[in-house]
């Protein structure tokens, strides 16, 4: 990620005729924009799209408690304490921020980023080369916190490893490592970027979707899998929102970072196709609340509420 450098003239040009300004990340650009927003008396909102562990994971400190605590306190003090209307993509991230000292009396709106209508259940046949295989899919960035390594190791430990075809759709800095790790699998794993049409087809023909991330604010890739009716298994990490998606805590969650437990959950669902069918229907139904149009209706209300609040606020400020 490249962080923007603030330029006052550019910011003014962007906000001077705006009805409302939305600040996405708690970094220099947003901090430089805030005083200009107030000068031009514009309504404003912000998002909690930054989980400090995403940064600490990048520098090898995702499990360092004092450093992560410092980061939570830093983003509150430097940015979020000055915000009134805060968009949170999940209940998880809202509760986590509050647990680290964020003011619970702010206007928090929990609204999913949603998935597009392109991701939907369609009855499709597996590609010929996979018809005798159990296809397990994961999609996401190849990075420290996403933990595709756990899935690769879990499949190596599975009783059914000879039958499993792993597809890890994505790209990122850990790709070379994962390719080396996957060489131990009986069936060569497929790693690399998939176009949206190919991803949708793969989602609709996979037997299982497994998400191993330790750290996740929401997990759009999981929502897309559920929207395609995939039975899903998630990491039970207390730093990830995706564990809340599990329709069955016993069979759809594995101990975070534990490839052996992950293998057990995979094997159990392979051995119980009737459960996979049941979970498929449940995930499909559960996903409906995350459809993009529903989410955007809620987002529109969020923006309107902020607009009305600040319009009244600036009006009263003039009276004073």
Predicted confidence (pLDDT) per residue in 203-242, tens digit: 999 999 999 999 999 999 999 999 999 999 999 999 999 9
2 domain-assigned: no
Q: Which tens digits make up the pLDDT trace of 292-305?
A: 999 999 999 999 99
- 3 domain residue, yes or no: no
Which residues on adjacent β-strands are paired with residue 114?
Answer: none
Name the pLDDT band for 320 (thresholds 50, 70, 90): very low
**DSSP three-state, residue 21:** strand
Say whether both 213 and 139 belong to one domain: yes
- Cross-strand pairs, 213: none
pLDDT per position as a tens digit, 166-178: 999 999 999 999 9
CA dihedral 117, 123, 129, 132 (to 10 degrees): 130
CATH code, domain with 266 = 3.40.50.2000
Instruction: Reply yes or no on whether the pLDDT at 319 is more than 60.
Output: no
61 band by pLDDT with thresholds 50, 70 and 90: confident
Q: Is 122 among the domain residues?
A: no
Residues 159 and 299 in one domain: no
Residue 28 lies in a domain: yes
DSSP string, 198-223: HHHHHHHH-SEEEE--S-BSS-HHHH
**Would you give the DSSP letter of residue 191?**
E
Residue 119 lies in a domain: no
Full domain range(s) for residue 197: 128-289
Query: Domains in the chain: how many in total?
Result: 2
- DSSP letters for 276-309: HHHHHHHHHHHHGGGBHHHHHHHHHHHHHHHHHH
HSE-CB of 54 using CA atoms within 13 angstroms = 13
Percent of the chain with pLDDT over 70: 99
Asked if residue 69 and residue 159 are part of one domain, the reply reads no
Find tokens 């996740």 and name the residue: 216
């Amino acid at each position: 990620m490249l962080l923007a450098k603030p330029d006052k003239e550019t910011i003014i040009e962007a906000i001077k005729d705006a009805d409302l300004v939305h600040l996405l990340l708690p970094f220099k650009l947003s901090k430089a924009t805030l005083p200009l927003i107030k000068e031009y008396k514009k309504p404003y909102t912000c998002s909690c799209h930054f989980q400090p562990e995403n940064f600490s994971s990048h520098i090898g400190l995702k499990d360092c408690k004092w450093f992560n605590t410092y980061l939570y306190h830093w983003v509150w003090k430097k940015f979020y304490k000055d915000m009134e209307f805060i968009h949170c993509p999940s209940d998880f991230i809202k509760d986590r921020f509050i647990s680290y000292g964020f003011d619970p009396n702010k206007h928090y709106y929990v609204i999913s980023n949603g998935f597009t209508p392109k991701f939907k259940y369609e009855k499709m046949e597996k590609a010929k080369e996979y018809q005798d295989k159990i296809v397990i899919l994961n999609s996401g960035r190849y990075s420290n916190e996403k933990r595709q390594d756990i899935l690769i190791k879990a499949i190596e430990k599975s009783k059914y490893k000879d039958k499993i075809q792993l597809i890890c759709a994505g790209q990122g800095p850990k790709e070379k490592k994962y390719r080396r790790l996957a060489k131990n699998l009986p069936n060569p794993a497929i790693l690399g970027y998939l176009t949206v049409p190919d991803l949708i087809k793969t989602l609709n023909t996979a037997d299982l979707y497994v998400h191993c991330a330790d750290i996740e604010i929401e997990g759009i890739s999981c929502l897309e899998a559920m929207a395609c009716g995939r039975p899903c298994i998630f990491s039970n990490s207390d730093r990830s929102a995706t564990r809340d998606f599990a329709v069955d805590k016993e069979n759809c969650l594995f101990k975070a970072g534990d490839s052996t437990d992950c293998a057990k959950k995979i094997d159990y669902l392979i051995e119980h196709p009737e459960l996979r069918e049941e979970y498929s229907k449940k995930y499909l139904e559960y996903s409906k609340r995350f459809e993009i149009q529903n989410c955007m209706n809620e987002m529109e209300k969020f923006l309107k509420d902020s607009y009305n609040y600040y319009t009244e606020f600036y009006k009263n400020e003039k009276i004073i």
